[in-house]
């Protein structure tokens, strides 16, 4: 019987901690001629090619040299039903939601549409090197079903949930406190912990949930403390003002969620830009994770995320695309725009920290670093193969690059889906570009 063992050969980079400076080489392992031995969707061995091949038996060998193998990218905030409204012109957050987003999301009541879009959405993720994402589905249970069905077909480690929203949205895009609770319970029972799926309890944001629905969201969180929780926080000044009108008792925006018991280290808070000191302290105390969404924040003109300020309080920040307000599925392009947002605040995003962030860093934010985000033995074999000469502009620049840090910065600033040469999900190639080479005789 043929073995299902696979040996990937190439240059290899994986992180064991967050690099503290541009020359902190203790935080990663880089192997010039490295190999990964993969079996049953897991990484069995990592090391130099010579070491690993010696114990690889009849494993099929795929030679990716001179390309660079890293852990698959993790996108911690993305909206699955917004695939067809990316790049919609001219509005800031609340107008953008009302004009483009909400009408579009009503279409996901239709199971057939949701299933077709899920297939396209997952193709886009893997084409861009993303192997795990945390997604908002629409308010319709069918959209979450379509999302998890498609993830299961592809054996991808995916997190998501149907949004809870019972006000300030058009007909066909509202649930009720009870139906939102019941649908979420059903989805958790069916999907949470099934294969590689996890559920995220998802009150969309304070504006679209009544206090009664927030109460129900709090009950869901209390009953399912192992689920993730996701929502939006302080993205836009008009959003904050309207939230405080709707919740006059709240001390600040975060207090709405805090009051209903939603905050913990399982919680992801998209944007978290315009924060009060009390909110920052509460994030630090509860361990809730702000999510930086650079391309979205620039596209909607929302504001500049204070990465260094939050990190200085010990807060763990995640980073994400936020499609469809975000303008690229690529975590590389997300790093590019993130670099520029930090530049505007005299903060730095050097390439080692950047590549740590979209792999192990986001895994840490999700509490999943023992499963994804590294090339460690025993973890799941979600891997990207990067080509730092994928375009003419990159190839020319690379002629003058001599260090790993320079190469990574070229990928960070100029890379996109063209730089993703191959993607493995649980050890299975998704693009099939590189031919297998016969095992040389011992
Ligand atoms: N706030 C509430 N819903 C959304 C959304 O879909 N996108 C963004 N960027 N912000 C939101
Ligand atoms: Zn969002």
SS (H, E, C) the chain: CCCCCEEEEEEEEEECCCCCCCCCHHHEEEEEEEEEEEECCEEEEEEEHHHHHHCCCCCEEEEEEEEEEEECEEEEEEEHHHCCCCCCCCCCHHHHHHHHHHHHHHHHHCHHHHHHHHHHHHHHHHHCCEEEEEEECCCCHHHHHHHHHHHHHCCCCEEEECEECCCCCCCCCCCCHHHHHHHHHHHHHHHCCCCCEEEEEEECCHHHCCHHHHHHHHHHHHHCCCCEEEEEECCCHHHHHHHHHHCCCCCCHHHHHHHCCCCCCCEEEEECCCCCHHHHHHHHHHCCEEEECHHHHHHCCCCCCCHHHHHCCCCCCEECCCCCCCCCCCHHHHHHHHHHHHHCCCCCCCHHHHHHHHHHHHHHHHCCCCCCCCCCCCCECCEEEECCCCCHHHHHHHCCCCCHHHHHHHHHHHCCHHHEEEEEECCEECCCCCCEECCCCC
For residue 230, give the nearest of 241, 239, 220, 240 by alpha carbon. Answer: 220
Structure confidence at residue 385 (pLDDT): 98
Q: What is the pLDDT of residue 3?
A: 65
Query: What is the residue-averaged pLDDT of the chain?
Result: 96
Work out which ligand 1 atom sits closest to the CA atom of 136: 6
* 346 — pLDDT class (breaks 50, 70, 90): very high
Give the percent of the chain with pLDDT over 90.
Answer: 95
Q: What is the pLDDT of residue 440?
A: 52
Q: How confident is the model at residue 157 (pLDDT cuts 50, 70, 90)?
A: very high
Q: Band the pLDDT of 22: cuts 50, 70, 90.
A: confident
User: Ligand 1 atom 1: the closest Cα is on which residue?
Assistant: 232
Ligand nearest to the CA of 135: 2
Reference 179, options 210, 136, 148, 206; nearest CA is 210
- Residue 442 pLDDT level (bands cut at 50, 70, 90): very low
Band of residue 13 on the pLDDT scale cut at 50, 70, 90: very high
Ligand nearest, relative to CA of residue 105: 1
With tokens 């944007």, the residue in question is 271
Query: 373-404, pLDDT tens digit by residue?
Result: 999 999 999 999 999 999 999 999 999 999 99
Q: CA 364, CA 80: separation in Å to the nearest integer?
A: 23
Closest CA to 233 of 216, 249, 251, 253: 253
Report CA(384)–ligand 2 centroid distance (Å): 25
Predicted local distance difference test score (pLDDT) of residue 313: 98
CA distance 335 to 351: 9
Q: pLDDT grade, residue 432 (50/70/90)? A: confident
Segment 109-114 shows an average pLDDT of 98
Checking if the pLDDT of 441 tops 50, the result is no
Q: What is the ipTM of this complex?
A: 0.99
Q: State residue 193's pLDDT score.
A: 98
Nearest CA to ligand 1 atom 11: 232
Ligand 1 binding residues, C-beta < 6 A: 79, 93, 97, 101, 204-205, 232, 235, 296, 322, 325
- Atom 7 (ligand 1): residue with closest C-alpha? 325
Q: Is the pLDDT of residue 247 over 50?
A: yes
- Which residues contact residue 96 at a Cβ distance below 8 angstroms, ignoring those fewer than 6 apart? 88, 300, 325
Q: At what angle do helices 177-191 and 141-153 cross, to 10 degrees?
A: 10
Closest residue CA from atom 9 of ligand 1: 325
Q: Which of 37, 127, 21 is nearest to 83 (CA)?
A: 127
Taking alpha carbons only, the member of 388, 389, 386, 385 closest to residue 429 is 385
Chain-centroid distance of CA 330 in Å reads 10
Q: What was the pLDDT predicted at 435? A: 57
Tell me how far the alpha carbon of residue 51 is from its chain's centroid: 33
Residue 171 clears pLDDT 80, i.e. is over it? yes
Rounded distance from Cα 45 to ligand 1 centre (Å): 41
Closest CA to 358 of 379, 382, 341: 382
Residues contacting residue 319 through CB under 8 Å, at least 6 positions apart: 76, 291, 292, 293, 294, 331, 334, 335, 338, 357, 358, 361, 362
- Beta-bridged to residue 420, according to DSSP, are 386
**Quick one: average pLDDT of 434-440?**
57
For residue 346, the tally of other CB atoms under 10 A from its CB is: 7
Q: Is the pTM of this model over 0.80?
A: yes
């Amino acid at each position: 019987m043929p073995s299902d063992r696979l040996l990937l050969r190439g240059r290899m980079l994986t992180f064991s901690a967050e690099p503290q400076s541009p020359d902190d080489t203790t935080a990663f392992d880089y192997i010039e001629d490295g190999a990964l031995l993969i079996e049953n969707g897991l990484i069995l061995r990592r090391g130099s090619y010579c070491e690993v091949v010696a114990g690889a038996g009849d494993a099929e060998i795929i030679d990716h040299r001179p390309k660079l193998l890293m852990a698959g990218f993790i996108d911690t905030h993305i909206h699955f039903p917004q695939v067809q409204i990316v790049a919609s012109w001219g509005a800031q957050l609340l107008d953008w939601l009302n004009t483009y987003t909400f009408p579009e999301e009503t279409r996901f009541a239709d199971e057939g549409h949701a299933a077709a879009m899920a297939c396209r959405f997952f193709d886009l993720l893997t084409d861009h090197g993303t192997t795990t994402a945390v997604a908002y589905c629409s308010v319709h249970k069918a959209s979450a079903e379509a999302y998890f069905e498609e993830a299961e077909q592809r054996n991808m480690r995916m997190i998501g949930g149907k949004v809870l929203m019972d006000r300030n949205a058009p007909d066909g895009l509202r649930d009720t406190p009870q139906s939102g609770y019941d649908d979420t319970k059903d989805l958790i029972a069916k999907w949470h912990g099934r294969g590689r799926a996890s559920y995220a309890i998802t009150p969309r944001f304070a504006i679209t949930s009544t206090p009664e629905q927030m109460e129900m969201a709090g009950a869901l969180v209390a009953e399912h403390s192992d689920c993730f929780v996701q929502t939006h926080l302080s993205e836009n000044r008009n959003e904050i003002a309207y939230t405080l009108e709707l919740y006059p008792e709240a001390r600040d925006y975060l207090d709405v969620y805090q009051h209903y018991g939603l905050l913990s280290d399982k919680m992801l808070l998209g944007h978290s830009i315009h924060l009060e000191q009390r909110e920052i302290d509460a994030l630090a105390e509860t361990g809730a994770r702000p999510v930086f969404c650079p391309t979205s924040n620039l596209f909607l003109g929302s504001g500049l995320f204070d990465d260094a300020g939050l990190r200085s309080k010990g807060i763990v920040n995640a980073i994400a695309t936020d499609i469809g307000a975000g303008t690229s599925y690529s975590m590389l392009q997300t790093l590019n725009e993130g670099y520029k947002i930090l530049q505007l605040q005299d903060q730095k995003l050097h390439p080692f920290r950047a590549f740590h962030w979209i792999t192990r860093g986001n895994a840490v934010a999700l509490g999943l670093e023992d499963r994804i985000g590294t090339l460690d033995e025993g973890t799941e074999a979600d891997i990207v193969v990067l080509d730092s000469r994928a375009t003419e502009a990159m190839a020319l620049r690379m002629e003058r690059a001599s260090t790993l840090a320079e190469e990574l910065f070229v990928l960070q600033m100029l890379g996109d889906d063209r730089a993703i040469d191959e993607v493995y999900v649980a050890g299975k190639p998704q693009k099939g570009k590189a031919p297998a080479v016969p095992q040389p005789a011992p």
